[in-house]
Amino acid sequence: MESGGISLEKRKPNRRGRPRIEDGPVLDRERLAATLLDIARHEGVTGLQMRPVASALGVSPKVLYGHVTDKQGMLEILVETILDACMPDVRDKPWDETLRAMAGALHQAYKPFPGVLDVVLAQGCDVLQQPYTKWFHATAHAALTNAGIPQKKVYHVFVRFAVIVMGSVLYEESNARSADPSESQESLDQCFEENVEMFLKDVERMASDCAGTDG
């Protein structure tokens, strides 16, 4: 349309040298989770940045923001995916088999993703609200109760269990980062298994002592 020799047609802005950015393919949670796993495995948690992750997915940052708003959101999806893939089905298992299976699964789960557990634990109280943390707490607490540990002592025993599992992961990562690792992975795995078994024996002894006291 012309008016007074001036075109009123809306013109597209000149994007000389700047091609239009397409949003890219449709993004779903499964593809996002797989990409986060790949980045964490090869680059560590430092690679979980919005623009680099969007680039790896082949989408615009705008599309990624539709699923997560920040690094924290990506970390939550990452950890949930890691644990979903490794957590054993412990339903109807005896208490000791439950705790042994949980400890072994968590010990192995974080190995391909160094640094992830360290970041998760640094979140403090925030991590306690996550579904995977609630499941870990509830399942371990139920196992300890089934073992015969009184309710007033369950939390303290649970903390010992968590320290054995999480502490072993952090120690092994520290050992692996050393230019001259002091211990082999085989030795560390054996040490971990021995610590878990000693813990289970302690739980059994404590439960027996408590039952004797109550009697």
Q: Is residue 101 part of a domain?
A: yes
Is residue 57's pLDDT more than 50?
yes
Residue 200 binned pLDDT confidence (cut-offs 50, 70, 90): very high
Token pair recorded at residue 144: 């300890």
The pLDDT tens digits of the residues spanning 89-106 come to: 899 999 999 999 999 999
Domain that includes residue 64, residue range: 21-86
Q: Are residues 125 and 136 in the same domain?
A: yes
CA dist., res. 102 & res. 106, Å (int): 6
CA dist., res. 162 & res. 151, Å (int): 17
Share of the chain above pLDDT 70, in %: 85
Q: Are residues 81 and 91 in the same domain?
A: no
Q: Are residues 159 and 169 in the same domain?
A: yes
Predicted confidence at residue 215, as pLDDT, reads 53
Q: Is residue 2 part of a domain?
A: no
Residue 206 binned pLDDT confidence (cut-offs 50, 70, 90): very high
Split into its structural domains, the chain has a count of 2
CATH number, domain containing residue 178: 1.10.357.10
Say which residue the tokens 């024996």 belong to. Answer: 201
Supply the mean pLDDT for the chain: 85
Residue 22 binned pLDDT confidence (cut-offs 50, 70, 90): low
End-to-end CA distance of the chain: 97
CA dist., res. 12 & res. 30, Å (int): 37
DSSP per residue, 67-78: T-SSHHHHHHHH
Token pair recorded at residue 201: 């024996």
5: left (phi over 0), alpha (psi -120 to 50) or beta: left
Q: Is residue 12 part of a domain?
A: no
Q: Are residues 45 and 91 in the same domain?
A: no
Tell me if 110 sits within 8 A of 170, measured CB to CB. Answer: no
Query: Other CB atoms closer than 10 Å to residue 143's CB: what's the count?
Result: 25
Is residue 11's pLDDT more than 90?
no
Q: Running DSSP on this structure, what letter comes out for residue 179? A: S
Q: Is the dihedral of CA 6, 10, 12, 14 positive or negative?
A: positive
The pLDDT tens digits of the residues spanning 66-91 come to: 899 998 889 989 988 998 888 888 99
Q: Identify the domain boundary among 86, 102, 129.
A: 86
CATH number, domain containing residue 82: 1.10.10.60
Q: Are residues 123 and 107 in the same domain?
A: yes
Predicted model pTM = 0.78
Q: Is residue 4 part of a domain?
A: no
